[in-house]
């Protein structure tokens, strides 16, 4: 992460703590309510696409881990949360089936084809176009051929901000050519549109999925 963007998120985390990854208009006392609202806004749409056989989950850009523990409701094994902002990871509370890891570069700390449920909530908008290929490559690398990507991003038609990049629904649908991504709808938040996507990859010819490890961490 470039120094200016890293400094922005470090400063935001220091000022706002867990709220750093939320819209600033959400008051501190609403964090738990908003977290559960976000989770069920997403999974009310995604649940019909799950098989019930999902074992491992990865929360990419988990922040302080507000949504990560809830993913244990959708997988039977371990959930790994990763984020590049150390101050946020330090706030995250790992326990039981939930583990948090500070992401120091583009490489995700889990083997190839090891994740059944890949969860990305409001993260890609913080990544500029020139850095997206490395990030998308890692997401594709860790997702199992029969796994599912769940993506939630801000698709508001608005000019980019200094540390945020607004992309359209179509931009996101074409961002993952290896995945049959579907736009499942979305919800409004303070006049902005959060769009929900989900889909599974088409495995390359001849690829045989390996058994899912219990813990996605090496």
Assign residue 142 a region: left if phi > 0, alpha if psi is -120 to 50, beta otherwise?
A: alpha
Which runs of consecutive H residues, i.e. helices, occur in 17-142? 31-46, 86-91, 132-142
Decide: 89 and 83 in contact? Cβ < 8 Å: yes
Q: What is the mean pLDDT of the chain?
A: 92
Residue boundaries of the structural domains of the chain: 3-201
Evaluate if residue 1 carries a pLDDT over 70: no
Q: 82 phi and psi, to 5 degrees?
A: -130, 145
Query: pLDDT tens digits for 92-126?
Result: 988 899 999 999 988 999 999 999 999 999 999 99
Query: pLDDT tens digits for 7-62?
Result: 998 999 999 998 999 998 999 999 999 999 999 999 999 999 999 999 999 999 99
pLDDT of residue 126: 95
Look at the pTM and tell me if it is higher than 0.95. Answer: no
Query: pLDDT tens digits for 133-145?
Result: 999 999 999 999 9
At the top level of CATH, the class of 3-201 is alpha beta
Strands (DSSP E) found in the chain: 57-60, 79-83, 98-102, 115-121, 143-154, 179-189, 192-201
Evaluate if residue 209 carries a pLDDT over 70: no
> What average pLDDT does the segment 179-188 reach?
97
């Amino acid at each position: 992460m470039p120094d200016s963007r890293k400094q922005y998120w470090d400063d935001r985390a220091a000022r706002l703590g867990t709220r750093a990854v939320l819209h600033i208009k959400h008051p501190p006392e609403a964090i738990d309510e908003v977290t559960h609202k976000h989770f069920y806004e997403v999974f009310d749409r995604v649940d019909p696409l799950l098989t019930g056989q999902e074992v491992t989950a990865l929360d990419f850009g988990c922040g302080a881990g507000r949504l990560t523990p809830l993913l244990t409701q959708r997988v039977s094994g371990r959930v790994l949360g990763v984020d590049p902002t150390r101050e946020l990871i330090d706030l995250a509370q790992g326990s039981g089936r939930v583990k948090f890891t500070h992401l120091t570069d583009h490489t995700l700390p889990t083997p190839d084809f090891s994740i059944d449920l890949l969860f990305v909530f409001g993260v890609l908008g913080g990544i500029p176009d020139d850095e997206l290929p490395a990030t998308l490559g890692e997401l594709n690398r860790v997702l199992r051929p029969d796994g599912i990507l769940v993506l939630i991003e801000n698709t508001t038609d608005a000019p980019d901000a200094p540390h945020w990049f607004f992309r359209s629904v179509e931009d996101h649908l074409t961002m993952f050519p290896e995945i049959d991504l579907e736009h499942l709808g979305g919800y409004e938040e303070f006049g902005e549109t959060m769009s929900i996507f989900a889909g599974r990859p088409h495995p390359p010819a001849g690829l045989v999925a390996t058994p899912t490890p219990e813990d996605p961490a090496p």
